[in-house]
Amino acid sequence: MKKCICIALALVLALAPALSFTAFASGTGPTNYTYTYNEWGVPVPSPDAYRVTAFIMGADLYLEGESVGHFFRPQDLAVYSNYVFVADTGNSRIVVIRANEDGTHEAVDVAYHAYYPDGTPTTFNRPYGVFVSSWPATRGEIWIADTYNQRILHVDRSWNILNEVLKPTDLTLLEEEMEFLPQKIVVDFSGRIFAQVMRVNRGLMEFSFDGEFVGYMGAPPVVVNIVEQFWRLVSTRAQRDRRILFVPVEYNNVHIDREGFLLVTTSSEEVDPVRRLNILGEDVMIRNGWWYPVGDLWFGDAAHIRGPSTFVAVTSLPNNSFVVFDSTRGRLFSYCSQGHLLYAWGGPGFREGFFQTPVALDSMGYTLFALDAATMAITRFDLTEYGELINLGLHYYHRGMYDESAAAWQEVLRLNGNFGMAYIGIARAYLRLGYYRQAMRYFRIQRDALNYGRAFSFYRREWVERNFWIFALAVGVLIVVPPVVKKAIAIRKELKEA
């Protein structure tokens, strides 16, 4: 059976390019390259939740009638209002793109310099990261990880430098000979800067609003297995020194969500590839799905693409679901705030909706902008009707408006009967309304034992109350019957003896 599914899936995947080509050509219709994992961890095809609506290359962007020219190995993008800021790393510039209402995109600014308060310009040197604040206090201000100038620049919209963060001088916290190469940065509502710095494995570097180095936060835990611990125990000091060092892994990207939590990704296989850190650096991600958010559960090694998904970017959506970008296979995985996989799509390739070297991802509302360093272009994804319904369902669901969410889930099921969360959503609505039998049925479809048990205990209580006479009768029988039988036997014995 598994083999059958495998073959079916292979067929679907093989046919996907052909189908999706026609779909892209017509601009509508399903593309069949979206899928999800069911409750047994088996991939099942799903309708498209996102569809490519624009493929933005630098050369197609015009500023005052002149093309801004191709991006060169761009590394990051940041969304602010309806603007997209691109860290065009190879060209050492920041390109600002405006997404117009009619779906077109145009360049509105190209910056090669920032300006000190006295007016002297300073050029960027391969900036790997850019962040634009949407917080009320610092709205519209820009932070640039000016990587090979070894600094973080805090500038306003006219590129006037407000602050410059250089390598911290506190040597107890950072080795002297190490270069300070900030790559990805985010800033929280109070202006604290969190930077992911190249070759720093103690977590994110945290700076205060005025650029003071505060410390490291959220280092991923070191994983040492038992066998390794045993060898450490029995080996001499010299041997220990020669063994590989067990150091924490590096983060490779960071994103700040609307509530101020940091979403971080790491490419290590040993720790959770995507984590949600609170202000103390603790992982507070909710992982209630059947599987942890790790991307693909099934993977082969076709065409030298092997191993598990490698997350390189993450972004959060208004309903607190998040999307991660997998560089192994160029796929996007969308998880809801509870950690259920909603849909996965994309793949390796040179066509629209496929990726070569994913590097960055950001969201404008529910619209996604995905940056590919190799094709040097931004792919814009917009929700389809199906995707909108799912996000509507989630929106109501996480606000506890189960009746409204159930209506959305019914619509989702009409489009895709394989969407597991919809069954749970409907069951929850039934449970709340007191239709325990129906709730049990829907929970059972998704094998949600915990919630099934909850519905069942209500159902059982109701059943017992309704059929109390059975119990009363049983107890009555147990009290009455034994003495009667005893008596009867005694009488029979007496009769026999007589």
Partner 1 sequence: MSRAEYFRSLRYCLYTMRRPLTGFWDLIHEKKGTMAAAHTLIGVAIIVQIMSLVLTNFQFNWINMETFSAWIVLAQVLIPVILWVVANWCLTTLFDGKGKMSHIYMGLAYAHAPMILINALLIPVSHMITFEEGAFYWTFATVGTLWFVLLVLCAMKEIHDYSFGKTIITSLLTIFAIGVMLFIFMMFFAVVSDGVVYFYSLYQEVAYR
**Least spacing, CB of residue 1 vs partner 1, in Å:** 5
Pick the closer one to partner 1 by CB: 1 or 280.
1
Pick the closer one to partner 1 by CB: 453 or 476.
453
SS3 content of the chain, % helix, strand, coil (to 5): 30, 30, 40
Say how many Å lie between the first and final Cα of the chain, rounded. 73
Alpha helices in 94-175 (DSSP H): none
Q: Looking only at residues 38 through 97 of this chain, which bind partner 1 when binding is defined by CB under 8 A?
A: 40
Exposed/middle/buried for residue 431 (C-beta within 10 Å: 0-12, 13-18, 19+): buried
Binding mask 434-463 for partner 1 (x = CB under 8 A): ----------x--x-xx-xxx-xx--x---
Q: Return the number of other C-beta atoms located less than 10 Å from residue 493's C-beta.
A: 10
**Least spacing, CB of residue 447 vs partner 1, in Å:** 6
**Least spacing, CB of residue 300 vs partner 1, in Å:** 20
**Distances in Å between the alpha carbon of 316 and those of 394, 463, 486?**
14, 44, 74
Q: Rule CB under 8 A: say whether 2 interacts with partner 1.
A: yes
Count of residues interacting with partner 1 (CB under 8 A): 13
Pick the closer one to partner 1 by CB: 40 or 246.
40
Pick the closer one to partner 1 by CB: 221 or 453.
453
d(CA 269, CA 323): 19
Residue 126: which residues within 8 A CB-CB, separation 6 or more?
Answer: 89, 90, 92, 147, 148
**Least spacing, CB of residue 298 vs partner 1, in Å:** 15
Q: Rule CB under 8 A: say whether 430 interacts with partner 1.
A: no
Residue 367: which residues within 8 A CB-CB, separation 6 or more?
Answer: 53, 99, 380, 381, 382, 383
Pick the closer one to partner 1 by CB: 116 or 468.
468
E-strand ranges in 268-328 read 274-277, 311-316, 322-326
Q: Rule CB under 8 A: say whether 467 interacts with partner 1.
A: no
d(CA 477, CA 485): 11
**Least spacing, CB of residue 474 vs partner 1, in Å:** 15
**Distances in Å between the alpha carbon of 340 and those of 32, 132, 257, 294, 316?**
21, 29, 18, 11, 14
**Least spacing, CB of residue 453 vs partner 1, in Å:** 3
Alpha carbons within 13 A on the beta-carbon side of 224: 13
Q: Return the number of other C-beta atoms located less than 10 Å from residue 346's C-beta.
A: 23
Pick the closer one to partner 1 by CB: 39 or 411.
39
Pick the closer one to partner 1 by CB: 399 or 460.
460
Binding mask 386-425 for partner 1 (x = CB under 8 A): ----------------------------------------
Closest C-alpha among 305, 223, 218 to residue 253: 218
**Least spacing, CB of residue 440 vs partner 1, in Å:** 10
Pick the closer one to partner 1 by CB: 302 or 449.
449
Pick the closer one to partner 1 by CB: 464 or 481.
464
Closest C-alpha among 119, 25, 129 to residue 85: 129
**Least spacing, CB of residue 98 vs partner 1, in Å:** 51
Pick the closer one to partner 1 by CB: 292 or 459.
459
DSSP 138: G
Binding mask 354-393 for partner 1 (x = CB under 8 A): ----------------------------------------
**Least spacing, CB of residue 451 vs partner 1, in Å:** 9
**Least spacing, CB of residue 460 vs partner 1, in Å:** 7
Q: Which parts of this chain interact with partner 1 (CB under 8 A)?
A: 1-2, 40, 444, 447, 449-450, 452-454, 456-457, 460
